[in-house]
Amino acid sequence: MFNPEREVPSLELCKQLKELGFPQDGGGWYWIIYHDEDGDRVQLLLERERDKKFWQRLRNCSPNYREVIKAPTFIELWKYLPKKFKTPKDKYAYLYIKKVNNMMQIEYDTYTWDYPDYYIMSIYPSELDSICKICVWLREKGYIKFNKEVSDDNSD
**Residue range of the domain that includes 43:** 4-73
Interatomic CA distance for residues 40 and 65, integer angstroms: 8
Residues 116 and 48 in one domain: no
Mean pLDDT for the chain overall:
78
Do the Cβ atoms of 67 and 37 come closer than 8 Å?
Answer: no
Does 67 lie in the same domain as 9? yes
- 53 and 84 share one domain: no
Q: Which residues contact 106 (CB under 8 A, 6 or more apart)?
A: 95, 96, 97, 121, 122, 123, 127, 130, 131, 134
Residues 88 and 144 placed together within one structural domain of the fold: yes
* pLDDT score of 151: 46
Of 22, 118, 24, 4, the C-alpha closest to 67 is 24
| Domain final position from 73, 94, 124 | 73
pTM score, whole prediction: 0.77
- Say which residue, 79 or 58, is predicted with more confidence: 79
Give the containing element (helix H, strand E) for 133: helix 127-140
